Amino acid sequence: MKLLLLVILSTLISLLAFMLNPIFGAILCLGILLGVNMWIALMVKDIHNELLSNKTKQSIADRVYEEYVKEKHMTKP
């Protein structure tokens, strides 16, 4: 929801800048929209990579077992 709001807000700012000064506004408009879209793409890429990582592929039982093994090795004298 925040990303959609950010895109709408950046679009409105870009259109306002374009209406005030078409030559400068066109450059500003393209820069703002391109920057926001690239930033969103990087966020989506990070989320996608996190979803595909090994930590999220593991089941809950596997994670609990790993924690148990770690604790068992840590408590050994």
Domain-wise residue ranges, the chain: 2-75
Looking at residue 38, its pLDDT comes to 87
CB atoms under 10 Å from CB of 29, counted, come to: 20
Per the prediction, the chain carries an average pLDDT of: 80
Q: Distance between CA atoms of 58 and 50, rounded to whole angstroms?
A: 12
pLDDT of 19 over the 70 cut = yes
Q: In this predicted model, what pLDDT tens digit does every residue of 25-53 receive, in sequence order?
A: 788 888 888 888 888 888 888 887 877 77
Looking at residue 37, its pLDDT comes to 84
3-state secondary structure of 21: coil
Q: In this predicted model, what pLDDT tens digit does every residue of 54-68 receive, in sequence order?
A: 666 777 788 788 888
